[in-house]
Structure 1
Amino acid sequence: MSEQARARLAQAQGRVVASLVAGADPPEGFDAGRLRVQAASLMAKRRGVVARIRPDAARAAGPALAAEFAAYAAARAVPPPGYRADADDFAAWLRARGLLPDGKPRLWSRLFRRDRG
C-alpha cells in the first residue's frame, strides 16, 4: 500500500471514529442512522464502565446519569485515554458543576482501582 493510500485510509478512519465518539457528521458513504445507533451503544458501554469505576459519581448524577454523562462526553473532542481517566474526569466534571462533593471516592471504588492496576 502506498503512503498516499495509507494517509487516505487514516483520514477516513479518523472521520469514522470522530462520528462514533465525538458526534461529528458521518463520513460520506456511511449510513448516518447506523452510526448513531453504534455511537449510542458505545456511549452506554463507556458510561456503564465509568459508573462501575466511580460509583460515587454515578450516585451523585442519580437518575440523570445518562444525560449528565452525555453532556460531559459532548464537551470533549475525544475521550480520555482509558476508563479510569474517563471516570476521574467525569467525577471532576460533576464536582465542578456542584453535583459531586469534594472528597475521596468510597472504599469500593478505591479497591476497584487497586485491583485493576
Structure 2
Amino acid sequence: MTTDRERKRLAEVQGQVVAALVAGGEVPAGFDPERMRVQASSLIAKRRAIVARIRPDAAAAAGADLNAEFAAYARSRPTPPPGYRADADDFAAWLRDRGRMPDPPPPERRWWSRWRAPS
C-alpha cells in the first residue's frame, strides 16, 4: 500500500522529470542526464514537426533556421501552451516579434458580412 508521503514524493519527482523534459529543468537524481537530453530533444522535434504542419507559414518564415528557432522558442517557455494550435500560433507570434515573420493581413470583409437581419 502506498502512503500519502510516498505519493507526494512520487509527484515531486514526476514534476522534476517533466520540467527536465520540457522546460530545461534539472535532471532528477537517479536519471541518466544523456537519455533525458535525448528525450527532451525528441519531444521538441515532435512539437516542431506538428507546428510546421499546422502553420507552414511560420515554418517558411523560419526557413533553414527552423530547428534552431523552434528550439530557442521552446526553451523560452517554461510550459508549452495547451494544444498544438496554440503552440503553432505562439511560435508564429514569437517569430513575428523577432522580425522573422510579417504581420498577418487584416481579415477580408465578405459581402455577406455587411448584411444584418432585421430587428
TM-score by length of 1: 0.86
Structure 2 alignment gaps of length 5 or more: 106-119
C-alpha RMSD of the superposition: 0.9
* Counterpart check, 1:67 vs 2:68: yes
Q: What residue in structure 1 maps to residue 8 of structure 2?
A: 7
* 2-structure distance, mates of 1:94, 1:8: 39
Which residue identity does 1:27 align to in structure 2?
A: P
Listed as ranges, the matches of 1:1-117 within 5 Å are 1-103=2-104
Greater RCO, 1 or 2 (C-alpha within 8 Å, sep 6+): 1
Q: CA deviation at 1:3?
A: 2.0
* 1-structure distance, mates of 2:50, 2:101: 18
Which residue identity does 1:58 align to in structure 2?
A: A
* 2-structure distance, mates of 1:2, 1:46: 36
Q: CA deviation at 1:2?
A: 2.1
Which residue identity does 2:102 align to in structure 1?
A: P
Max radius of gyration: which structure? 2
Higher share of residues assigned helix: 1
Classify the secondary structure of the residue corresponding to 2:85.
Answer: helix
Which residue identity does 1:92 align to in structure 2?
A: A
Give the aligned length: 104
* 2-structure distance, mates of 1:97, 1:47: 18
TM-score by length of 2: 0.84
* 2-structure distance, mates of 1:59, 1:34: 31
